[in-house]
Amino acid sequence: ILNVEQSPQSLHVQEGDSTNFTCSFPSSNFYALHWYRWETAKSPEALFVMTLNGDEKKKGRISATLNTKEGYSYLYIKGSQPEDSATYLCAQPSGNTPLVFGKGTRLSVIA
C-alpha cells in the first residue's frame, strides 16, 4: 500500500517569513507527485504536478522540488502572507490507483 507522509503536521509562521515542508513517498514505481492547496470550504486547488527527478516548479512565491530517487518533495513559500494560510496536500497516483494523499501540512501565517 502506497504511503505518502507529510511533515510537519502544522506550522505557524510570522508574516514575511519563508517556510518549507516535506512530502515523502516510496521511490519505486513513481509516476507523478501532486501538490494541492486547500482552504476549508473551498476546492483543493492544484499547485503543481511534478513527474521528473530534479523537477523544480514555481508559481509566484511558492515553489517545489522533486527527488524521485530518494522519495521526497519540498514545497517552499517565500515571504509568507496571511492569505497563504491553508492546508498543503501532496498526493501520488500509483499505477491505476487514484491519488493517494498525505495528511497535509496546515500552515497558519500570523500577521
Tell me how far, at minimum, the Cβ of 12 lies from other proteins, in Å: 18
Q: Minimum CB separation from other proteins for residue 102, in Å?
A: 6
By beta-carbon proximity to other proteins, the closer residue of 6 and 80 is 6
Output the nine-digit C-alpha cell for 27: 521511490
Residue 91 contacts residue 5 (beta carbons within 8 Å)? no
Q: Which residues bind other proteins (CB under 8 A)?
A: 4, 31-32, 34, 36, 41-44, 46, 48-49, 51, 89, 91, 93, 96-104
Alpha-carbon gap, residue 104 to 96, rounded angstroms: 23
Instruction: Judge whether 68 and 21 are in contact, CB under 8 Å.
Output: no
Cβ burial, residue 28 (10 Å; 0-12/13-18/19+): exposed
Question: Which residue, 11 or 32, has its beta carbon nearer to other proteins?
Answer: 32
Q: Give the nearer residue to other proteins in terms of CB position, either 42 or 60.
A: 42
